[in-house]
Amino acid sequence: MNYSRQREVILNVLRSTTSHPTAEWIYEQSKNILPSISLATVYRNLAYLEQLHEIIKVQGVFEKDRYDGNTKNHAHFVCLVCGNVIDTDVDSDTKVKILTSIPEKADTFSIIFSGVCQKCREKSNNPN
Amino acid sequence: MNYSRQREVILNVLRSTTSHPTAEWIYEQSKNILPSISLATVYRNLAYLEQLHEIIKVQGVFEKDRYDGNTKNHAHFVCLVCGNVIDTDVDSDTKVKILTSIPEKADTFSIIFSGVCQKCREKSNNPN
DNA sequence: ATAAAATTAATAATCATTACTATTTTAGTT
DNA sequence: AACTAAAATAGTAATGATTATTAATTTTAT
């Protein structure tokens, strides 16, 4: 794989946030640096980078795919009110317990928690 | 919500398998019973049934959404070779450990393991 | 500097899912 | 049973995220 400035920018943009952005958002940010970059280039490079395990594609959160520059094995919390996706650590004890809890031999796992985040919980006056 | 024969058939078809089928597959099976059923009806009713928590939509497995008639909180193992999706129990100890491993208060979680299933492992002569 | 391979921008195509609409079915009421 | 309003359907069009195509540009090795 040859060097490309576009790929470098896309990766930097993704690594500069913890917001688990969509391809469209990464495209808009990248345009600030490379105004002529194309959306297809963003998609193509995100696919490459995922294959190289430089980034992670997070599916199953609302409708669009999200991308994550943090490749450490961690879980995601999706707030059903504000839609934010929050990284949550999974300690290695839990990780082992999860991976050994099934008969199959899993290489990786994806955990997506759903609920209402702390902020949204505070905003509503619901004492729960 | 009124009764509909179509919805009844769709639910029965889904409950008759553990294969986590796509909407298209459910449509094909339902046509054997109701030849004039339409694909849009299948999608509409799957969405209704998901809202009622009668079924679960499994996203993030390859490209198409999958559906699951088993609403017990369990995990999924996706084989990267054959593509099969296998139910795997999560014992309640692990469940509690997972849910309490994050600072946010999660209502539910979705776990998708990835790897190569036992069968595909046996077929290849790889001793690992 | 040259050439082959890789990459890109721009745009067309794909295709899973959803929206629309005229018609039919359901379920309650007389 | 007939009447009616709401709900649901079949068929099809529209949507929209993602992927494929292609001619032009860039990279990299020689």
Q: For every one of its 128 residues, what pLDDT tens digit does chain A have, with 9 covering 90 and above? A: 999 999 999 999 999 999 999 999 999 999 999 999 999 999 999 999 999 999 999 998 888 999 999 998 788 999 988 889 998 887 787 777 777 777 888 888 888 989 998 889 888 766 55
Task: Report chain D positions within 7 A of protein CB atoms.
Answer: 6-13, 17-21, 26-28
pLDDT tens for each residue of B79-97: 988 889 999 887 787 777 7
- Say if strands B85-88 and B75-79 run parallel, antiparallel, or are unpaired: antiparallel
pLDDT digits (tens, 9 = 90+) for A27-55: 999 999 999 999 999 999 999 999 999 99
Q: Which residue of B has its CA nearest to A78?
A: B106
- Strand-strand pairing, B106-115 and B75-79: parallel
Q: Is the pTM of this model over 0.85?
A: yes
Task: Tell if the CB–CB gap between B88 and A110 is shorter than 8 Å.
Answer: no
Q: Quick check: A126 contacting B, CB < 8 Å?
A: no
* Helix/strand/coil for A109: strand
In angstroms, the CA B108 to CA B128 distance is 34
Whole-number Å distance between alpha carbons of A74 and A83: 18
Q: Looking at the complex, report in whole angstroms how far the Cα of residue B7 sits from the nearest Cα belonging to chain A.
A: 24
Q: Is B94 on the interface with A (CB under 8 A)?
A: yes
CA distance B85 to B58: 10
Q: Which residues does chain B have within 8 Å of residue A112's beta carbon, measured at their own beta carbons? A: 60, 109-110
**CB atoms < 10 A from the CB of A26, how many?**
23
Show residues of chain B in contact with A97, CB under 8 Å. 94, 97
Q: What percent of chain A has pLDDT over 70?
A: 97
Angstrom distance (rounded) from CA B51 to CA B47: 6
Q: Which of residues 51-90 of A touch B (CB under 8 A)?
A: 58-60, 75, 77, 79, 86, 88-90
- What is the distance in angstroms measured between the alpha-carbon CA of B115 and the sugar C1' of C11? 37
CA dist B110 and B115 (Å) reads 17
Tokens of A59: 């599916």
For residue A103, the model assigns a pLDDT of: 81
Give the dihedral sign, CA A59/A64/A67/A68. negative
Nucleotides of C under 7 A from a protein CB: 5-12, 16-20, 25-27
pLDDT, tens digit (0-9, with 9 covering 90-100), for B59-74: 988 889 999 999 988 8
A115–B103: do the CB atoms touch at under 8 Å? Answer: no
